[in-house]
């Protein structure tokens, strides 16, 4: 068995583990980063042999300041701003939402909405009432909106349910109201903060390769295909991490894998944070189709009230329909949607030039329910029986953000602050 030594040993090379490893190395720490899979990147991975297709379209928002700063630091490709007008099809009507023009413009557009379940004016009036209301502990966004005068069936037919699905990957009836409110305020903080941004390359080219190069330059030892299997643990804490044929001794140990993954690590199963299981999370589905070449990668169509919420038309010759918050029954029925596809595309002036391909990420993110929000832990395990030198890292920490790339980097910041060196 090989023994290695470091100041900090991190298990899990998703965005959070990668970000933390780089920051620590740049502060002069010796870092060893173990990754179970053959490639780092975690949830931001590109499917092997699939023309650069990613596990899902990953949308950024201008409010993702950490992601943007990190990409700049890595010298990665700049993100592309999507069309300033988001065309939203909702119940047979089309809205043109001016995304960059500020919240007043967006609200003005919403007031023009006419819908059998209620007018946009009602929706905006309801939203204004929300400004003065704080959710109750344990309340879901759906219940909170209803309490403040946005009845459930109206909510379901209107904009917020679909928007909520895209951001939280679950219906608002299940999502924590505090998280929903914070996200809404954050996104409408300034006129540009809700502008969507997208990479015009694969996630591997955007995140994974630049991170791997930066880690190498900074002297981080990244060991891929190396799962943390167990630890040597004594009364003073963890002495060493154990992987296949490898022992890593480090005074600080960081778990940057998924929270439920600790159950598989011998010696740390009792340290698993008490978060509801990820298996309760919903599925994210991408339907990818080859389209006529030459389309600009700046077209975002909100396509609400359908099984999918967004259509992206890309300069790489692909169209992607993105569906969030799918339950098991939706997945089982998905083949039934295909005959309707040509009609759907034609309605948006689009056409496919080949057969579709499904990309499905099951239980894509944990369900961001009130239970989950209340249990999101800080970077230092709160259980007094946990080893004193164990730290957590990941999008699932108590960052106050929806589970996202931004939350992963915010989680890494929390861990960096919590780590103390003599």
Residues 73 and 65 sit within 8 Å (Cβ to Cβ): no
309 touches ligand FAD by CB under 6 A: no
Q: Which of 30, 37, 87, 239 binds ligand FAD (CB under 6 A)?
A: 37
CB of 68 to ligand FAD, least distance (A): 12
- Strands 221-223 and 230-234, how do they pair? unpaired
Nearest CB to ligand FAD, comparing residues 261 and 307: 261
Nearest CB to ligand FAD, comparing residues 13 and 321: 13
Task: Give alpha helix (H) positions in 262-364.
Answer: 328-332, 341-347
Nearest CB to ligand FAD, comparing residues 16 and 24: 16
Rg of the chain over CA atoms, in angstroms? 22
Residue 128: other Cβ atoms inside 10 A: 12
Q: Distance between CA 35 and CA 17 in Å, rounded? A: 9
Distances (CA, A) of 303 to 88, 97, 146, 273: 6, 13, 24, 37
320 touches ligand FAD by CB under 6 A: no
Angle made by CA atoms 315, 318, 319, in degrees to the nearest 5: 105
Which residues neighbour 163 within 8 Å (Cβ) at sequence distance 6 or greater?
none
22 touches ligand FAD by CB under 6 A: no
162 touches ligand FAD by CB under 6 A: no
Contact window for ligand FAD (CB under 6 A) among 102-110, 117-125, 290-298, 400-408: 400-408
Helices 120-131, 103-111: axis angle to 10 degrees equals 140
CB of 406 to ligand FAD, least distance (A): 6
Closest CA to 372 of 351, 402, 413: 402
Residues 151-177 as b/e (b if ≥16 CB within 10 A, e otherwise) read: eeebbbbbbbbbbbbbbbbbbbbbbbb
Q: Which of 337, 367, 395, 401 binds ligand FAD (CB under 6 A)?
A: 395
16 touches ligand FAD by CB under 6 A: yes
273 touches ligand FAD by CB under 6 A: no
364 touches ligand FAD by CB under 6 A: yes
196 touches ligand FAD by CB under 6 A: no
Which residues neighbour 208 within 8 Å (Cβ) at sequence distance 6 or greater?
39, 40, 41, 44, 45, 46
14 touches ligand FAD by CB under 6 A: yes
Nearest CB to ligand FAD, comparing residues 161 and 368: 368
403 touches ligand FAD by CB under 6 A: yes
Nearest CB to ligand FAD, comparing residues 153 and 213: 213
Residues contacting ligand FAD: total by CB under 6 A? 36
Contact window for ligand FAD (CB under 6 A) among 39-47, 77-85, 269-277, 373-381: 39-47
Closest CA to 274 of 388, 140, 392, 171: 392
Nearest CB to ligand FAD, comparing residues 202 and 365: 365
89 touches ligand FAD by CB under 6 A: no
12 touches ligand FAD by CB under 6 A: yes
CB of 294 to ligand FAD, least distance (A): 25
282 touches ligand FAD by CB under 6 A: no
230 touches ligand FAD by CB under 6 A: no
Nearest CB to ligand FAD, comparing residues 115 and 288: 288
Nearest CB to ligand FAD, comparing residues 76 and 365: 365
Q: Distance between CA 130 and CA 76 in Å, rounded? A: 39
DSSP string, 218-229: HT-EEETT----
Residues 110 and 302 sit within 8 Å (Cβ to Cβ): no
Q: Which of 20, 31, 44, 89 binds ligand FAD (CB under 6 A)?
A: 44
Q: Distance between CA 8 and CA 250 in Å, rounded? A: 6
Contact window for ligand FAD (CB under 6 A) among 125-133, 230-238, 334-342, 359-367: 359-367
Residue 14, Ramachandran bin (φ over 0: left; ψ between -120 and 50: alpha; else beta): beta
CB of 224 to ligand FAD, least distance (A): 9
56 touches ligand FAD by CB under 6 A: yes
The tokens of 336 are what? 């039934």
Q: Which of 21, 34, 74, 248 binds ligand FAD (CB under 6 A)?
A: 34
Q: Rule CB under 6 A: which residues touch ligand FAD?
A: 11-17, 34-37, 42-44, 55-56, 58-59, 227-228, 256-258, 261, 284, 361, 364-365, 394-395, 403-408
């Amino acid at each position: 068995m090989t023994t290695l030594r470091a100041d900090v040993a991190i298990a899990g090379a998703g965005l959070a583990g990668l970000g933390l490893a780089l920051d620590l190395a740049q502060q002069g720490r010796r870092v060893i980063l173990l990754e179970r899979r053959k490639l780092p990147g975690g949830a931001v991975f590109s499917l092997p042999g699939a023309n650069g297709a990613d596990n899902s379209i990953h949308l950024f928002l201008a409010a993702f300041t950490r992601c943007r700063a990190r990409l700049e630091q890595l010298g990665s490709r700049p993100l592309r701003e999507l069309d300033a007008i988001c065309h939203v099809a909702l119940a047979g009507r089309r809205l043109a939402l001016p995304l960059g023009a500020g919240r007043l413009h967006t609200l003005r557009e919403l007031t023009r909405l006419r819908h059998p379940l209620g007018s946009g004016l009602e929706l905006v009036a309801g939203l204004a009432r929300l400004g003065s209301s704080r959710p109750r502990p344990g309340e879901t966004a759906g219940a909170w909106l209803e309490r403040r005068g946005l009845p459930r069936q109206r909510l379901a037919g209107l904009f917020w349910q679909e928007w909520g699905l895209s951001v939280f990957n679950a219906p608002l009836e299940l999502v924590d109201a505090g998280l929903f409110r914070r996200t809404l305020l954050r996104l409408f903080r300034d006129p540009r903060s809700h502008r969507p941004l997208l990479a015009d390359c694969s996630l591997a080219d955007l995140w994974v390769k630049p991170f791997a190069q930066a880690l190498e330059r900074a002297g981080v030892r990244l060991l891929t295909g190396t799962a943390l299997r167990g630890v040597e643990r004594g009364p003073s804490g963890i002495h060493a991490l154990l992987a296949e044929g490898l022992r890593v001794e480090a005074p600080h140990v960081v778990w940057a894998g998924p929270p439920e993954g600790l159950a598989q690590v011998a010696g740390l199963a009792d340290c698993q944070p008490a978060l509801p299981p990820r298996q309760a999370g919903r599925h994210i589905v991408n339907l990818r189709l080859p389209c006529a070449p030459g389309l600009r990668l700046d077209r975002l169509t909100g396509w609400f009230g359908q099984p999918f919420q967004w259509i992206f038309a890309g300069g790489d010759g692909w169209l992607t329909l993105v569906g969030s918050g799918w339950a098991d029954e939706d997945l089982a029925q998905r083949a039934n949607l295909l005959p309707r596809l040509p009609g759907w595309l034609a309605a948006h002036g689009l056409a496919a030039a080949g057969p579709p391909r499904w990309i499905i990420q099951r239980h894509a993110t944990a369900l961001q329910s009130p239970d989950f929000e209340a249990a999101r832990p800080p970077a230092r395990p709160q259980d007094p029986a946990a080893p004193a030198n164990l730290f957590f890292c990941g999008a699932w920490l108590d960052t106050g953000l929806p589970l996202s790339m931004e939350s992963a980097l915010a989680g890494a910041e929390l861990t960096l602050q919590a780590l103390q060196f003599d």
